[in-house]
């Protein structure tokens, strides 16, 4: 046997053995159109995959995307799952159920005299969550279809006061009769929300126990288990929505759990939450509410992970898909969060990352407002089916994607890696229907439409930054989602930002899945208590120790070792007689009176950052309304391997050239078109140019430069 053959066999054996010893970390993010999957092995290699979502049974798309990823490692689905250490999942099952109003039949048991709280809503209930163009038509505002109709709401006699003292004992006969009547109405879930039940949950627990005795398999949620702060309507709405989506979400999660077990996975199934962390499936089955809006949260957490790697402390994370444009902020290294959300007009309490969306995506429809005779873009979308006119599926109205195609940004033969051929003539006909009445040619209309949508995006970012006291010019923009790379330079320039990062290049279209892969186990523990400044350090410390003990106990039960636990403290503070609270970080360790004075100083500073210098009215006095502990359990490997995205180092030569319209030049120009896999790290490409990747396109506008870093991120620098 020749010596080189022996060497080859030995190298092959070593490679095979190393492959068998590898461990894998998988994340799957289910969207309305596509299910995205990102898999990282123990050596830092990353692959991604996309598969059509399957609304009839989203688990089918889940496993299809995993299978495509497994093939890229040369494994079967069973082999991949058998070697997987962590399996993480972001699901839209709960969100879709609320948006489509296709949830469970829910009954509500509440305190006598408060049965209409959910139906009355707040004064803004008719307009909550509406975009600005609909807010202007007040006469058309309507309350949403009630999640729980009045006939399924039961009131029982009980009363606990704000201090937690029972002043009216629970009438158990009324409670039992209420449960019996709801069961006769064939409810699938029961929500229990009593006044001040979060201070003393004794009555909520009693009624829950009665329900479990009478209907052991029924889905039940008590308000105090979800939300531990004042706000009767918001707390009740959260409890009802949890019940509304609970049966459907729990069935889906159980179905995924059972199949991954059958395929050999032995680790925990971890589900993404809107707060920016994952939780074991068992916890999510009880509280699926926290998955609502979790998809965009994955993208923001991926941006935080990459920002740590690249040393960016201020980041504007922008996600442009087919339907919406989502924006979240990272300030001083920490994603901004919120404690309230609005969905389908319902406003409810829920810890979440502060992400705001508008209807500005690739599928947003371009139209003419009859009243003003001006061009508009969105919020209506063509969706995935029929999709933009250029998809050739019957839509005759132009979209942003059609405009991008006509301007030359997209290659009609290489859209989605060549899986879809775009019909340029269909796009032209659709755009002509808008251009003609406005006296424009098709190209002018297309350029005008992209200017409008980019201005909408810039305006949203201004609201997210300037209205919070931040200057967008101090931030780096991260642009991900399938369509962001085509427009990011334009809206960054509008804001005065200098740097745009398209994370991972081709990985940007599955960035939310990558973000889910980079998250930690997370639980949030809260206690509402009114503490007037100067606050007693001992009492604040007592509450934090109580919350931290709960956190450690939970993480221990989930198998997180002590050295991988991180506990973060926060206080919600406000000036007395005001409504809005500001979240302030609290130091760890034993708190002193000096720490309390420093907390007041930091609160004033953050308040004036939000509302302007001199706006803090310290003479009114300050108070703490809520103390919060965020518990993190570090899981999986951290850090990103250089060259993990497999770019080929070589000479940068454009593969094609085509005519592209550039508004900066006011004309078409024959423009170099580069294949993304040909662009090596370190090489600079000067605009105008277009970079084509399998599932996204990056437009390098005149006056901007593009380079690729060692991690595979495409970085655009604006002059």
Q: Where are the domains of the chain?
A: 20-96+252-291, 101-245, 521-633, 657-718
Are β-strands 46-52 and 84-90 bridged in parallel, bridged antiparallel, or unpaired? unpaired
pLDDT at 8: 45
CATH of domain 101-245: 3.40.1360
Radius of gyration for the chain, computed over Cα atoms and rounded to the nearest angstrom: 27
CB of 77 closer than 8 Å to CB of 39: no
**How many Cβ atoms from other residues are within 10 Å of residue 309's Cβ?**
15
CA distance 602 to 594: 12
Q: Which two tokens stand for residue 525?
A: 């523990």
Q: Which two tokens stand for residue 28?
A: 């799957």
CB of 190 closer than 8 Å to CB of 210: no
CB of 682 closer than 8 Å to CB of 708: yes
Q: Answer whether the bond into residue 159 is a cis peptide, omega within 30°.
A: no
Per CATH, domain 521-633 is 1.10.760: no
CA distance 176 to 182: 10
What is the DSSP secondary structure assignment for residue 399, as one 8-state letter? B
Short-list 568, 570, 565, 543, CA closest to 552: 565
Split the chain (719 residues) into runs of 10 and give each run's mean pLDDT: 42 49 89 83 86 83 92 93 93 81 92 89 63 60 79 95 92 96 95 93 96 95 90 90 94 94 93 92 91 88 91 94 87 86 76 85 88 87 81 90 94 77 91 93 94 94 89 95 92 95 89 90 90 91 95 92 93 88 91 93 90 85 93 75 51 85 92 90 91 91 93 91
Q: Which two tokens stand for residue 341?
A: 């959300």
For the chain, what's the residue count? 719
Are β-strands 521-532 and 622-633 bridged in parallel, bridged antiparallel, or unpaired? antiparallel
**How many Cβ atoms from other residues are within 10 Å of residue 183's Cβ?**
15
CATH of domain 20-96+252-291: 3.30.420.40
CB of 227 closer than 8 Å to CB of 194: no
In DSSP terms, 502 is beta-bridged to 714
DSSP sequence for 239-272: HHHHHHHHHHHHHHHHHHHHHHHHTT--S-EEEE
pLDDT at 136: 59
b/e sequence 451-481, b meaning 16+ C-beta within 10 Å: bbbbebbbbbbeebbeeeebebeebbbbbbb
Short-list 276, 286, 368, CA closest to 632: 276
Same fold, 20-96+252-291 and 521-633: no
Are β-strands 689-693 and 667-675 bridged in parallel, bridged antiparallel, or unpaired? parallel
Determine phi and psi for 615, rounding to 5 degrees: -80, -20
Torsion of CA 234, 235, 237, 243, to 10 degrees: 160
Residue 343's SS3 state is strand
Backbone dihedral region for residue 616 (phi beyond 0: left; psi -120 to 50: alpha; all else: beta): beta
**How many Cβ atoms from other residues are within 10 Å of residue 306's Cβ?**
25
CB of 125 closer than 8 Å to CB of 345: yes
pLDDT at 76: 94
CA distance 192 to 118: 13
User: What's the number of CA atoms in the CB half-sphere (13 Å) around residue 615?
Assistant: 13
Short-list 506, 451, 450, 459, CA closest to 481: 506
CB of 150 closer than 8 Å to CB of 119: yes
């Amino acid at each position: 046997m020749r010596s080189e053959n022996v060497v080859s066999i030995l190298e092959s054996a070593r490679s095979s053995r190393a492959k068998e010893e590898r461990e894998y970390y998988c994340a799957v993010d289910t969207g309305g159109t596509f299910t995205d999957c990102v898999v990282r092995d123990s050596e830092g290699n990353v692959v991604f995959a996309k598969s059509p979502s399957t609304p009839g049974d989203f688990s089918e798309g889940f496993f299809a995307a995993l299978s495509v990823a497994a093939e890229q490692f040369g494994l079967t689905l069973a082999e991949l799952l058998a070697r997987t250490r962590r399996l993480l999942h972001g699901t839209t099952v709960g969100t879709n159920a609320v948006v489509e109003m296709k949830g469970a039949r829910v009954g509500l048991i509440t305190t006598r005299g408060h049965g209409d709280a959910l139906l009355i809503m707040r004064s803004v209930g008719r307009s909550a969550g509406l975009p600005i163009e609909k807010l202007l038509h007040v006469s058309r505002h309507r309350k949403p279809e009630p999640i729980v109709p009045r006939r399924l709401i039961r009131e029982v006699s009980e009363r606990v006061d704000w201090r937690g003292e029972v002043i009216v004992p629970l009438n158990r006969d009324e409670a039992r009769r209420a449960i019996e009547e709801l069961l006769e109405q064939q409810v699938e879930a029961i929500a229990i929300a009593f006044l001040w039940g979060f201070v003393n949950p004794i009555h909520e627990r009693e009624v829950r126990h009665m329900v479990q005795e009478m209907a052991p398999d029924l889905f039940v949620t008590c308000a105090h288990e979800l939300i531990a702060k004042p706000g009767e309507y918001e707390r009740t709405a959260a409890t009802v929505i949890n019940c509304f989506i609970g049966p459907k979400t729990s069935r889906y999660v159980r179905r995924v759990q059972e199949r991954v077990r059958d395929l050999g996975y032995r680790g925990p199934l971890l589900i993404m939450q809107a707060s920016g962390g994952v939780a074991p499936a068992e916890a999510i089955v009880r509280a699926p509410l926290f998955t609502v809006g979790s998809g965009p949260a994955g993208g923001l957490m991926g941006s935080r992970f990459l920002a740590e790697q690249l040393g960016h402390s201020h980041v504007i994370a922008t996600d442009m898909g087919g339907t919406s444009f989502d924006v979240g902020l990272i300030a001083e290294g920490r994603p901004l969060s919120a404690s309230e959300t609005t969905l389908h007009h319902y406003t409810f309490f829920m810890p979440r990352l502060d992400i705001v969306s508008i209807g500005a995506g690739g599928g947003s429809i371009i139209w003419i407002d009859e009243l003003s005779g001006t061009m508009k873009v969105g919020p209506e979308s063509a969706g995935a089916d029929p999709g933009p006119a250029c998809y050739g599926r019957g839509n005759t109205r132009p979209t942003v994607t059609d405009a991008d195609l006509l301007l030359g940004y997209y290659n009609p033969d290489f859209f989605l890696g060549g899986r879809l051929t775009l019909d340029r003539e269909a796009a032209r006909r659709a755009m002509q229907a808008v251009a003609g009445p406005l006296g424009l040619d098709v190209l002018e209309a297309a350029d005008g439409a992209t200017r409008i949508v980019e201005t909408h995006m810039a305006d949203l970012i201004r609201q997210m930054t300037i209205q919070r006291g931040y200057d967008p010019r101090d931030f780096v923009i991260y642009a991900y989602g399938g369509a962001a790379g085509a427009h990011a330079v334009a809206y960054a320039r509008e804001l005065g930002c200098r740097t745009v990062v398209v994370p991972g290049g081709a990985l940007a279209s599955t960035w939310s899945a990558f973000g889910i892969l980079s998250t930690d186990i997370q639980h949030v523990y809260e206690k509402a208590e009114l503490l007037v400044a100067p606050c007693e350090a001992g009492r604040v410390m007592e509450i934090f120790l109580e919350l931290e003990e709960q956190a450690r106990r939970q993480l221990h039960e989930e198998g997180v070792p002590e050295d991988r636990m991180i506990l973060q403290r926060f206080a919600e503070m406000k000036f007395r007689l005001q409504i809005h609270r500001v979240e302030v970080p609290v130091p760890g360790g034993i708190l002193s009176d000096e720490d309390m004075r420093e907390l007041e100083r930091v609160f004033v500073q953050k308040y004036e950052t939000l509302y302007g210098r001199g706006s803090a009215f310290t003479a009114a006095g300050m108070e703490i309304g809520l103390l919060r502990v965020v518990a993190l359990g570090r899981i999986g490997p951290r850090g990103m391997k250089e060259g993990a995205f497999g770019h080929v180092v070589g000479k940068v030569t454009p593969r094609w050239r085509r005519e592209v319209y550039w508004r900066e030049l006011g004309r078409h120009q024959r423009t170099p078109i580069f294949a993304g896999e040909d662009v090596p790290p370190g090489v600079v490409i000067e605009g105008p140019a277009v970079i084509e990747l399998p599932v996204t396109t990056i437009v390098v506008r005149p006056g901007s430069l593009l380079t690729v870093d060692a991690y595979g991120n495409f970085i655009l620098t604006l002059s």
